[in-house]
Structures are given as C-alpha cells and as structure tokens.
Structure 1
C-alpha cells in the first residue's frame, strides 16, 4: 500500500532540533498536518529528502558536470526535433492513472537531473537512455552519444480533457521552473521553487532541482506525489509536491530551506509570466495588429485585513520593482482576466486559454511583503514579470526555513474576489485643448476602470448611486471623477482625470531618479466597500 509521510511546520522559522521527519500532503480542501517520525525500516519519505538537503548544505556547492561535446551544437530547432518515444512512457503498459515522459538534454538545458521512482517505499534511479528518444533530422547525433544520457527534466500526463487520452499537464524543466495547466488550458505562466536575490544590483541566483523522486501511483489514485532536492551556491532545499489534475489543477507544496551562505532576499512561491502590451498600454512601436499580447494581465493580493488588491501589469521603459506590505498574506496570484478570443485575435497563441495561478499559504507565513518585478521587453518570447512573497526575517546558517502553500492553476479567475473586481483598465492622454482646466502646467491623463461581478450586477442604477475613493500620490492632482453603470458589461465604470506635475528636460531624460506615482481606487456605496482596490503606478516619462 502506498504511503506518504506528512510535515507540520508551525511558525516559519524552526530550529533544526524540532524538525518533524515525515510528509503526507493533505487531500484537497484540508491542511498539512504532522504525523511523526519516519518508520524504523528507513523507507523513503520526505524526511529522506530533508536529511539529504541538510547534509548537502554543510558542504560547498558543486556545479553540475558539463554535457559531453555532442550536445553542444544543439540549437532550438535541433533540440525540438528530438522527441521522447510515447511508447516508452513510464507506466503506460501498466494502465496507471499517470504517465511520465522525459526531456532530452541540450540547447538551454545543460544540466541533467537525477530522476528516481519510489515504489513501495524504495527509491531507485531511472536510467535515461538515448533509445527512449527519436532524433528526427539529427540522424548522426544519436550515434555519437553514450547509451545513458540523462534527462533535462520530465513531464506528467493524465486524462484531463478526455477519459482516454493522456494530456501533458505538468512540466519540470530548467532550474527550479515548473508549469501546469488545467482542462482546456494552454501553457503560459510558470512557477519556481524559490527566488533568491531577485531584482538586486548584484544579480539573481537561480537554484535548480538536481534530484527528483516520483512516487509510483496506484490504479485508483487521483493524485501524484513528487519530491525534489533544490541546490545552489547559497542554499539547499527539500520540496514535496502533491498534484491533482483536473478542470483546475491543484499543486500542494511543502519546502524546507537550509542556507549555505547569507542571502539578502528570498521569494516564496515565485511566479513568472509575460506581459507585452494590453488594453492599459499607451501606443508604442511594440504594438502590432493584435489588440493585446500577454500570458497574464494582473497581480491579485488578498491581505490579512480583508482587502483585495488588484495591480494591472505594465511593460515600461525601465525596470519597475513594486512592494506591498503583506503580513500573514492570505493569498496572491498572477492572473489572466481577459478570457475572450477577441481580446487577442490570435489563432495560434490563444492567450485567452492561458492559466491563472493562485497561491494560498498553508499556515501563517508571518511578517513580510509582496514584490512585483516588471522588466522592459521588446519581444513577447521573454518572461518579464515576476511576483513573490518575501519574509522580513531570514533564517541564520543553522536555522532552516519552512513554508507550505497550495497552488491552483485555473481558467476564469473571477471566483476569487468576493465582491466587485476590475475587468479592464484603460489609460489615455488628454490634450490640453479638450478642456480649459488642463491649461495649467503638467500632463493630464484619463483613467477608465471597469468593475464587474455578481455583487455589482445586482445593483439597480435607478435606485442606488455608487461613488469611488480615488487617491493619487504626491506629484499628481486628481481633477475629476465619475462613477456610472456600464450596460454593456452589466458592471460599473470609474473614470477620472489626473494631472501630473511637469518635469524639466533633465528629469525626463532620467526617469529612474524618482519612482512612479501611486494611484488607488475602489467603489463604495455609502460606508460599504463594494470592490477590490485598483492599484496602479504611473509616470508619463516611462510610457511609450
């Protein structure tokens, strides 16, 4: 009978002497609870990975061995032409509810990872041979390679769209990156095991999963358990993933981190996505014939005080790092709210089918803040958005850090916000001749924010009148605002104008000397807050 051990972490920082030894991840809808010490027969468990990570952290970091020469010339097209033979899929002949396929090393993936299969409590490494792959146009490459070549990563298949066909729904490939999809979705946003020193001048460190253990499922299992060993110059980590594929694919994650060297910043549950341009983008040379191009369009944060904060994404001229205080954050996610084909008109990319990812901490994460990193990008092939939660207190060298969370890879994320939520953000420059009030110095912009949701749709505009709280930061002035029903969306629209203080020529040439101006707004009825908080940063000289 298959068994998984369980971990209870309590506070975020735990002394090494209090480590519980085992991990069994909960069924959907329950929390992760402790279950005691691993059995005396030394069967493989999460405790095995924790022990390995802790011991590894006491030794200097060892780089992965370089790939042999035949792998070197592989470019993207050549690497893509190497395919795993589906008939070699792990567990296919046994008719189990999951199958495993592998990725060939080469191109960007210069590290091979150790993949182990856990069966009845015993772990055995899976030998990855070149005979598992077909080489297509790379006819001579297979002849030059050794028989055992290793794997760059792996993917998991299950029948999530139809009962008979095993669709790929989860991938671990490159550093600590992994991606998932639910029913009817296409890959888009990615997750990582951990972010280290992200957006710092000294540069980011990218840990990688160098070992995996996949627990062999039983025939009637609805979930799959995966363990992973994280490694980098500064730290090691023991991870456990429990995955339920479906309309929404759920991934429960437990992590235990051990430091080799001090770090300045750690990011929990980091999400990485792409935003090229959207409805809120001002005209720029990067825009083409498609109305919008993005895998995600906003960051949603659920704060401990009950506030829901929505920050639309942007692609500006310089790197932008935004920070939000988020002690005991209740949840956060990078979402794709524009779900209509006509938002994109792209028959190939189908951005409307990209998943949203929602993170729910399991247990209190303590004091910390959210960070959103937005990197300038001139091509849609680059992931330029990073979001994560970072603790205010980091562990010492002899004090591990533990955290757990639940991920939901979902389609329409409208269900998340309990009240009204932002459906669109539009920005435009107001020319001075349009209104005498704009004759003063400074540039004036109009912001149009639409709110939707069942709560707002039930309000009768003939009987009730809504208002808005609009706040603008120092360096800007709110000129006017209006709230009125939007019969096309059955929601409500907020429109307001803001004058931004004029800048000298030198100030406009050096836009990084001062940060963007913060704008905030929400809808209300008398004293009742009816919507999430729309939060935006804006600086005229950063727009294109």
Structure 2
C-alpha cells in the first residue's frame, strides 16, 4: 500500500465515523446512544471507539484507582515473571487462526487495570478479570473474593516455523507496545503518545484503559488491535494493524480529543537503551564491548537529507532538536550486528530490532526530538525519540494522524550511496578527542575512487583538525579520521558529509560532544 492509498483509507474511515465534524460537547440528541464497548455483546466498530474516546474526553479525568491485591505491587520482578497464563487457556488455539493470545497479569510495576475484549462477528466479548487464567508460580495466590486485574496481552504467530508459535507483539504498561521480526528478540519499545517529555513540570503518562483485539480470519496474516487512551489532558482512539514477518509492520491510526490545550506532544514515540559503545566508553570497566539496544538515530527529513546521529550516555540530560516539515522517516536503529561486539550470551543485543517510523501523509511543521538520559544500568530505557508538531492540539478540534512502524533488522528506507557503520572516539592529548568514522555503500566501495571523495567536517565550537579520508578495504568502504580541539568549550555540535564528483554522498553524520 502506498502513502496516498493509506492516507485515503484513513481519511475515509474518519469521515465515515461522523465524529470528526462535531466539536466536543455538541448536541447529538437526534442520534441513538452509542454502545458501551466495555459491555459484552456491544456492536463494535472503529467509529464506536472514536465515540467512546470523545465521550471520555468530555468528562473530567479520573485517575486509575488502586486495584492490585495486597502485596502484588511489591512483587520482585523475578517473582512476577513466574506468573504465567495457563497453556490450556490460550485464546484462539483451537480455532487455528494463525495467532494465539496470552493474557498478562497485573502486579510489579503494572498497577493500572486494562480491560481487554475480543471482537468476534462484529460484537464485543469482554475478558473476565479472573485469576483462573494464570498459574501464579512463586507469587502468592490472590484472594478469591475480588477480580484479578489484567495488564495487557502477548500475541504469538509462526514466525520461524509453520508449527512453532513465537511471541512477536506485546501491549503492557501505560501505552507501551513492543514487536519483533523473524529471528529477533524483544528490545526497543514504542508508545501511543508522549506528553511533556523532559519538561521541568514533569512528564504526563497516558494509559490505554482498554484494548480490543479483532479475531483474525482463518489464514489471515494480520492482527488488529484497538485501544482507548486516557490521560489528565487528553483521550484518544487508536487502531493498530500488525503484520508479522521478515519485517513486522505496525500501521497506526490515532485520533486525540484534548481536554485542554496540549503544547508538547510526542507522535510515534519510541524508546531504547544506550549504556556504552565505541564512541562512549569513558569510565567503563566491563567485559562486554558494547551495551545498547540501539546505537543511533536515523532521520530522513522533508528536504530529502539523510542524517545519522550516534547515541551516547551523557553525564547530564541532553535534548537534541531537529526542525523539519513533513518528515519522511525516523527511527532508533541497531546497526551494529554480530555477537562479538557485544559478547553477551544473556542479553543478545545483536538480535534486537531497529524501529523505523514512516509518516503517512503530510505531518506539517514541527521538530524531531531526541532525549538522552544518563544511566548507569542497562535496565533503563534512557533514549527517547518522537515527532513534536509545531501547532498545539486544540480541545475544540480532534487531532488525527497516521504512521507505519517497521520492526526490522534494517529499515526498508535507507540513504543511497553510503551509510555510517561505525563511530569511534578516543583521547588525543589534553582535551582533544580523536574520531574515526567509517562509511559503507556502493558509492565508497571502490578503493580506486577514494581519492575523489572529500570529507567536509565542521564544529559549532572549537576546531576540527587533521582531517584525513581514505579507503577502508576491510569493510569495502571509506574511513574519515579527524581531531576535535574543543578549547574551553564543554559542548560541540559536529557535522560531516562526504562529497564526490556529483555532490554529497550518502548520510550526513552528526555528533554532540560534551565534556
């Protein structure tokens, strides 16, 4: 499906719903009362989810109440993970739908209840909050006199072998979801919405109050999930179409109904972890060579420029802003593959997915924001990237947008000619730093043409010295070395491009150096 067809489909669905044209609080007495989608047997449609989100936004926000049995909020992680859904209760197993579902329990850090419903023959069948779904392993058996809450679900499909079902999708915690492609393990995560990330007043964390999963048709290759988002200042309706495979694709449509103006909203937010790597090993004493779920931010901006920005683990919070109009794509990528660079049989960072977001339609003016948060552990997701629209979201006007996420080994979109494959830094005496940047691709593969390539490196402060470019036959690519002398500065924004006979070659390399 191309961008135009997808956008047309989204638009037709929105217009058919009839809710887009109606401002919040408008009279609709001439229409029958919409169904409550949390009731068994309610007729289900995308339009009904939009109606439910709009009604929710018209009411005051009610924070989730404490719902966990005593002690479950304090469960250690390993004890919580011992709680498993009983295999014989897996959903859709007997129906041979190509997918199965496992429900996930509340407990540990998952303290907000999530209502889950199945959509079958156009009707809702709500899943009971019942402890009989689970084998509690090392966790205590919850009291029988109260419902046991759910926190999400995991979906399985035959990714590797026709008869072997593997986890490929999970929704659990706030608006967080994860996916993976063939041969991978879970790594980076995505969220439905980000609000006030990095702001002094603190971040607002929306929740998915309810999830509805459509029963796939027999032999179908996609699973469809609907979600009802709620937060203090906004409610929303989401539709996810997930197709697992060599690249697992997640199409996302969302409509937000703000309760009050929203100035700092993150669209297509994604999170990952970066602890250390060859460009950032200061103070590291670790048997592993690298520890990260993603090693860089790739951007394909509206002007057609490709950008590669290596990640780092800074001493202080760092926020990078890339202004743009109608971006073509962005993502947190894990470019370094192979076991040896990581040397970690437990985590297997080499098998974690890259996540690439492809906007559908024109997104207008805004900025891509990257946050790098200091961490001393590989547990925390300390890197966040998202698109921030320039215009605030107005409570009087619903906000709709669509995009496609690719969970992959490498994105389907990539810079022509040459891409950055490695960034290494080291001491060069005093405050000076030595950099080595390697490029690979068709435009730099022939060593006989290396003399025709000219690296252009600049810095926002200090000086760039000793720039040398040469062929790198070990990778069939091109290597640039240079020295940064920051003088007395504590922050330098570095930029480098390769120029050939026909102009710029491949990606623009960006780097933020901090003292």
Same-fold call, TM > 0.5?
Answer: yes
Query: Counterparts of 1:89-100 in structure 2 under 5 Å?
Result: 89-100=90-101
Alignment-derived partner of residue 493 in structure 1: 479
Which of 145-154 and 493-502 deviates more? 145-154
Check 1:57–1:186 CA distance in 2 against 1; reply closer, same or farther (3 A cut). Answer: same
Match of 2:432 among 438, 444, 451: 444
Q: In the aligned structure 1, how far is the partner of 2:450 from the partner of 2:474?
A: 19
The answer to whether the 8 Å contact 2:10/2:402 transfers is no
Displacement of 1:218 in angstroms is 1.1
Q: In the aligned structure 1, how far is the partner of 2:448 from the partner of 2:207?
A: 54
Alignment-derived partner of residue 221 in structure 2: 222
The answer to whether the 8 Å contact 2:268/2:357 transfers is yes
Q: In the aligned structure 1, how far is the partner of 2:257 from the partner of 2:459?
A: 42
Is 1:321 aligned with 2:308?
Answer: no
Query: Counterparts of 1:11-22 in structure 2 under 5 Å?
Result: 17-18=20-21
Displacement of 1:43 in angstroms is 4.2
The answer to whether the 8 Å contact 1:337/1:412 transfers is yes
Q: In the aligned structure 2, how far is the partner of 1:19 from the partner of 1:527?
A: 53
Is 1:58 aligned with 2:44?
Answer: no
The answer to whether the 8 Å contact 2:450/2:471 transfers is no
Secondary structure of the corresponding residue to residue 382 of structure 1 = coil
Structure-2-length-normalised TM-score: 0.91
Alignment-derived partner of residue 477 in structure 1: 463
Is 1:256 aligned with 2:243?
Answer: no
The answer to whether the 8 Å contact 2:73/2:109 transfers is no
Q: Which ranges of structure 2 fall in alignment gaps of 5 or more residues?
A: 1-7, 24-33, 35-41
Query: Counterparts of 1:309-388 in structure 2 under 5 Å?
Result: 309-388=307-386
Alignment-derived partner of residue 301 in structure 1: 299
Residues 195-231 of structure 1: CA deviation (Å, up to 9, x unaligned): 0000000000000101111001111211111100000
Q: In the aligned structure 2, how far is the partner of 1:206 from the partner of 1:499?
A: 41
Q: In the aligned structure 2, how far is the partner of 1:415 from the partner of 1:330?
A: 9
Residues 68-100 of structure 1: CA deviation (Å, up to 9, x unaligned): 325344221221111111221100011111111
Q: In the aligned structure 2, how far is the partner of 1:130 from the partner of 1:47?
A: 32
Q: In the aligned structure 2, how far is the partner of 1:535 from the partner of 1:145?
A: 57
Displacement of 1:523 in angstroms is 1.0
Q: In the aligned structure 2, how far is the partner of 1:305 from the partner of 1:90?
A: 46
Q: Which ranges of structure 1 fall in alignment gaps of 5 or more residues?
A: 21-37, 433-442, 504-510
Alignment-derived partner of residue 430 in structure 1: 428
Which of 475-484 and 232-241 deviates more? 475-484
Displacement of 1:427 in angstroms is 1.0
Check 1:95–1:202 CA distance in 2 against 1; reply closer, same or farther (3 A cut). Answer: same
Residues 429-467 of structure 1: CA deviation (Å, up to 9, x unaligned): 2126xxxxxxxxxx321111000123321x342675211
Q: In the aligned structure 2, how far is the partner of 1:10 from the partner of 1:469?
A: 48
Secondary structure of the corresponding residue to residue 340 of structure 2 = helix
Structure-1-length-normalised TM-score: 0.86
Check 1:287–1:238 CA distance in 2 against 1; reply closer, same or farther (3 A cut). Answer: farther
Q: In the aligned structure 2, how far is the partner of 1:96 from the partner of 1:282?
A: 48
Q: In the aligned structure 2, how far is the partner of 1:247 from the partner of 1:124?
A: 32
Equivalent pairs, count: 489
Alignment-derived partner of residue 397 in structure 1: 395
Alignment-derived partner of residue 131 in structure 1: 132
Check 1:463–1:382 CA distance in 2 against 1; reply closer, same or farther (3 A cut). Answer: closer
Query: Counterparts of 1:95-106 in structure 2 under 5 Å?
Result: 95-106=96-107
The answer to whether the 8 Å contact 1:258/1:400 transfers is yes
Match of 2:506 among 527, 531, 540: 531
The answer to whether the 8 Å contact 1:326/1:368 transfers is yes
CA RMSD between the two structures:
2.3
Check 1:80–1:122 CA distance in 2 against 1; reply closer, same or farther (3 A cut). Answer: same
Moved over 3 A (4+): 15-20, 145-148, 412-415
Secondary structure of the corresponding residue to residue 407 of structure 1 = strand
Residues 300-330 of structure 1: CA deviation (Å, up to 9, x unaligned): 0001111001100000100000000121000
- Kindly indicate which of the two structures has a greater share of residues assigned to strand: 2
Residues 245-289 of structure 1: CA deviation (Å, up to 9, x unaligned): 0111000000001111223300000000000000111431x4411
The answer to whether the 8 Å contact 1:9/1:402 transfers is no
The answer to whether the 8 Å contact 1:468/1:524 transfers is yes
Is 1:455 aligned with 2:454?
Answer: no
